[in-house]
Amino acid sequence: MTLFIYLFAFIITAPIAALIALYWLFKGVLGNAKRALHWSVDITTFILMLSVDAVMHEIWHQHFFGTLFFAFLFISILFILVSVLLREEVVMTKLIKGIWRFNFLLFLSGYFVLIVYGLIVNIKYQV
């Protein structure tokens, strides 16, 4: 059980390592690099949501998972509205994949920004 807890903590702390490990795993299992990348990105999106919350908690000593979840819902609603306005027929599977992958990019960039911000703030208060 302790090994599982350490593994979970490592994955939340280093989601990029999880992305790379999942990519290698899926590439070996599926044999297709493009599908392996898509699967690993899809799984890593949820990991990034947890990681961003963990980094925000470390910086500001508050959890923001509810706020992040509502931001995810707001982005989803915006994507749906734009899709309905631009197209007559909406393909839900493509729309959901687009929303999920956009959120991957959003949370990945947010993770890097928060890591840099946290390092700067931590160094500033240490000196």
**Quick check: 30 and 36 in contact, CB under 8 A?**
yes
pLDDT tens-digit series, residues 47-80: 999 999 999 999 999 999 999 999 999 999 999 9
Residues near 111 by beta carbon (within 8 Å), at least 6 away in sequence: 15, 48, 51, 52, 55
pTM listed for this prediction: 0.90
Residue 66 is predicted with a pLDDT of: 95
pLDDT tens-digit series, residues 95-107: 999 999 999 999 9
Residue 38 is predicted with a pLDDT of: 96
Residue 20 is predicted with a pLDDT of: 97
Is the pLDDT higher at 87 or at 40? 40
